[in-house]
Amino acid sequence: MTPQTGTTLKHLFEARFDYREGQEPSTSAEGKVGEYIGSGDGTVTGTINGTIKWDLYEAIDDGVCLTNFAGTIETEDGAIIHYDARGHGKVINLDKPNQWVMVYGVKFSTEDQRYDWLNATLGVWEGEFDMETYKHHYQVYAHVNSE
């Protein structure tokens, strides 16, 4: 297989998440990676702006956390965008065991025509999770053809 030329990553949004103890999941566990861990909400800012709801599913395997975020983004202009992000988390610096580095592939789906371009977009999601504060901070990019 030959790597695709003329592709690049375009920044879509920055996401900041907060864990909400006792919040009920908004997604089904069916087909998710691992077990349901918890839920929360947050904000997204960038090309897409709005609020985000998330559910986290995970399984630990040999010191690597297999993770699956799923939920919805409600944009400032009223669109609903569903997402399913699957990836891995790992503690890189053993002197900071609460600091996790996270990477994901993400797919989007929406029925809103203003954002239907996301239905054909493969996303890349990367960032950090702090187990001490339960804060998440991510950058999300779209894989686009630059030719």
pLDDT of residue 4: 58
Three-state SS sequence of the chain:
CCCCCCEEEEEEEEEEEEECCCCCCCCCCCCCCCEEEEEEEEEEEECCCEEEEEEEEEEEECCEEEEEEEEEEEECCCCEEEEEEEEEEEECCCCCCCEEEEEEEEEEECCCHHHHHHHHCEEEEEEEEECCCCEEEEEEEEEEECC
Q: What is the pTM of this model?
A: 0.89
Q: What is the mean pLDDT of residues 3-32?
A: 88
Task: Kindly tell me if the per-residue pLDDT of 104 is higher than 80.
Answer: yes
Mean pLDDT value of segment 35-50: 96
For the record, the structure tokens of 57 come out as 């599913």
Q: How confident is the model at residue 97 (pLDDT cuts 50, 70, 90)?
A: confident
39, with CB counted inside 10 A (0-12, 13-18, 19+), is buried
**Domain residue extents for the chain:** 16-136
> Which CATH number among 2.40.10.220, 3.10.310.30, 2.40.160.20, 3.40.50.300 corresponds to the domain 16-136?
2.40.160.20
**Average pLDDT for residues 50-66, to the nearest whole number?**
89
Residue written as token pair 């999941």: 25
